[in-house]
Chains A and B, each alone.
Chain A
Amino acid sequence: MLEVQNLRVSYPSRDGGLIEAVRGVSFSLGRERLAIVGESGSGKSQTGRAILGLSAPGAIVTADALRFNGTELLRCSSAERRRLRGRSIAMVLQDPKYSLNPVMRIGEQIAETLCAHRSVSRTEAQRRVLQALADVAIADPERVAKLYPHEVSGGMGQRVMMAMMLIAEPELLIADEPTSALDVTVQLQVLAILDELVRRRGMGLIFISHDLRLVSSFCDRILVMYAGRVVEEIEATKLHEAKHPYTRGLLDCLPRLGAPRHPLPTLQREEAWK
């Protein structure tokens, strides 16, 4: 479905130089779940945004290939890119507070997304909006559709976000830390909903996160990024056999309930990893 070869994203820096956020990332994605894991500054979010064409203004994005279903994304016009966004590729961001329009009712926002990509009648749109809300396990869709984003909790806001992104039935979903801003118990609920949706619709999923353990149970394959490059690509089930010292370090350094280690092993960063 998605083919990425040698993706590079750079930004001009304050003193006239160039900051390379993504330095030659390559991978391919079918109808599976891929995790991109890294710490802050690893370039994982930038990779996701570059695929959608949502990099910050001033970004220089190049790649040998960035193909979605055969279409070369970097050679598309902005109108074509816009059409792909939402209809074929969707993105769910970290904090619904910042991604939902605070002055529009939830139902209206979701309907807007739908109408932007498919031409449907008003009644049909209404029906689909309520269906979308029900799909994300919102118990009272009619009531929630009339609410404003600030009137719902974080977990529900994230579900609304997912409903909005999935209503146009995209093939690929890029989720950038979709549960990091949520409480632990709510995280599991939201992930369960995401799990079900992705499975039922046969979508491709790119799950960007800093939480290696979380993605190991949720995704099929994991890409570990460090300083803009992919340092390891591994199947989720084989994570314990990870070879790269950075991946091993990341796995080891987290405190574990029931297996105390004092002091915790820390990462010794090597220049060679860059």
Chain B
Amino acid sequence: MVIKSPQFHARLHRAGEAWQVFARNRLALVGLGLVLLLAVLALLAPWLAPFDPTQGELLSTRLLPPSGTHWMGTDDQGRDILSRLLWGSRITLFIVVLVAVLAAPIGLAVGTAAGFFGGWVDQLLMRLTDIFLAFPRLILALALAAALGPGIENAVLAIAITSWPPYARIARAETLSIRQADYIAAIRLAGASNRRILFGHVMPLALPSLIVRVTLDMAGIILTAAGLGFLGLGAQPPSPEWGAMIAAGRAYVLDQWWVAAGPGVAIFVVSLAFNLLGDGLRDALDPKGSD
């Protein structure tokens, strides 16, 4: 593939302009920073974690409060909470990325197809979307867990299946207004096939709103995964999934508050980070394309 140098430069320049708008929002930068921090910590967990996340000294290190050796204390199995959090960030990232990678393309494809073709295609796809929208996430997760057995993969599947419908709606709404535009008429007049128009012209314009929505959804996805973990439907013990950690810490929340507080704060911070990032992206991406 040949990268036409001036074309590449033009794209870079435009990306630079978008970055400038984004970077002016301090909170968005904070959000981005935290998300990047999550990624780095997840990546380097094996080297950063001071202790073993799954094995603990039941006798000597059980339920120790935060101290110099155990920055966040230890849990009821004697495991260092900080190490568990670090390893658990991998699971959080895994969930978040997988759901985005699964749900967003499905939503985009369904939504743009429905909006672009209209007629019975639209009707069919939107009714399909409605059906999936009707599924409550937790019930579906329970059903999947009952059918396929509990586990992190099934939890991700359940969340992904119930996440794509709103993305399809957004993509469809965007496509409906894009479809009327003269620039679509122009490329149609040049003899472009429907496929070319859909993938090359419509989808790139529907993408920004979708990206913003997905980012803002991340917080909800993390909380849902935590909820599933809390119910025992997500990652199974001794896996250090943050939601399961809170569940385990429930019994000790009054006297050994740190067992639940650690993962709780982690979930809060990451959710907030994605929210700030999503807001910043929306401000940077949306008002740009249209004059």
Q: Is A262 an interface residue (CB 8 A)?
A: no
Q: Is A15 an interface residue (CB 8 A)?
A: yes
Question: Please, which residues of chain B bring their CB within 8 A of the CB of A200?
Answer: none
Q: How far is the CA of A15 from the CA of B19 in the complex (A)?
A: 11
Question: A interface, by DSSP: helix, strand, loop or mixed?
Answer: loop
Residues from 1 to 29 in B contacting A, C-beta threshold 8 Å: 20-21
Q: Is A14 an interface residue (CB 8 A)?
A: yes
Q: How far is the CA of A14 from the CA of B18 in the complex (A)?
A: 11
Rounded to whole Å, the gap between the CB of B224 and the closest CB of chain A is 38
Interface size on B, as a range, is under 10
Question: Please, which residues of chain B bring their CB within 8 A of the CB of A15?
Answer: 20
Rounded to whole Å, the gap between the CB of A41 and the closest CB of chain B is 13
Question: Please, which residues of chain B bring their CB within 8 A of the CB of A14?
Answer: 20-21
Q: How far is the CA of A139 from the CA of B20 in the complex (A)?
A: 56
Question: Please, which residues of chain A bring their CB within 8 A of the CB of B21?
Answer: 14
Residues from 3 to 29 in A contacting B, C-beta threshold 8 Å: 14-15
Interface size on A, as a range, is under 10
Q: How far is the CA of A7 from the CA of B207 in the complex (A)?
A: 43
Closest A residue, CB atoms, query B20: A15
Q: How far is the CA of A15 from the CA of B17 in the complex (A)?
A: 9
Question: Please, which residues of chain A bring their CB within 8 A of the CB of B20?
Answer: 14-15
Q: How far is the CA of A14 from the CA of B22 in the complex (A)?
A: 11
Closest A residue, CB atoms, query B288: A14
Rounded to whole Å, the gap between the CB of A57 and the closest CB of chain B is 14
Rounded to whole Å, the gap between the CB of A125 and the closest CB of chain B is 40
**Contact indicator per residue, chain A 157-174, by CB within 8 Å of chain B (1) or not (0):** 000000000000000000
Closest B residue, CB atoms, query A16: B24
**Contact indicator per residue, chain B 232-254, by CB within 8 Å of chain A (1) or not (0):** 00000000000000000000000
Rounded to whole Å, the gap between the CB of B120 and the closest CB of chain A is 30
Rounded to whole Å, the gap between the CB of A210 and the closest CB of chain B is 18
Q: How far is the CA of A15 from the CA of B20 in the complex (A)?
A: 8
Q: How far is the CA of A14 from the CA of B21 in the complex (A)?
A: 7
Rounded to whole Å, the gap between the CB of B252 and the closest CB of chain A is 52
Rounded to whole Å, the gap between the CB of A12 and the closest CB of chain B is 11
Rounded to whole Å, the gap between the CB of B25 and the closest CB of chain A is 13
Closest A residue, CB atoms, query B21: A14
Q: How far is the CA of A14 from the CA of B24 in the complex (A)?
A: 10
Q: How far is the CA of A145 from the CA of B20 in the complex (A)?
A: 50
Q: How far is the CA of A15 from the CA of B16 in the complex (A)?
A: 12
Rounded to whole Å, the gap between the CB of B285 and the closest CB of chain A is 14
Residues from 136 to 153 in A contacting B, C-beta threshold 8 Å: none
Q: How far is the CA of A199 from the CA of B21 in the complex (A)?
A: 50
Residues from 25 to 66 in B contacting A, C-beta threshold 8 Å: none
Residues from 69 to 119 in A contacting B, C-beta threshold 8 Å: none
Q: How far is the CA of A99 from the CA of B153 in the complex (A)?
A: 54
Q: How far is the CA of A95 from the CA of B285 in the complex (A)?
A: 28
Rounded to whole Å, the gap between the CB of B290 and the closest CB of chain A is 15
Q: How far is the CA of A14 from the CA of B17 in the complex (A)?
A: 9
Q: How far is the CA of A15 from the CA of B21 in the complex (A)?
A: 8
Q: How far is the CA of A14 from the CA of B291 in the complex (A)?
A: 14
**Contact indicator per residue, chain B 57-90, by CB within 8 Å of chain A (1) or not (0):** 0000000000000000000000000000000000
Q: How far is the CA of A248 from the CA of B20 in the complex (A)?
A: 42
Q: How far is the CA of A69 from the CA of B20 in the complex (A)?
A: 46
Rounded to whole Å, the gap between the CB of B276 and the closest CB of chain A is 21
3 interchain pairs (CB within 8 A)? A14-B20, A14-B21, A15-B20
* Chain B interface residues (CB < 8 Å from chain A): 20-21
Smallest CB-CB A-B distances: 3 pairs = A15-B20, A14-B21, A14-B20
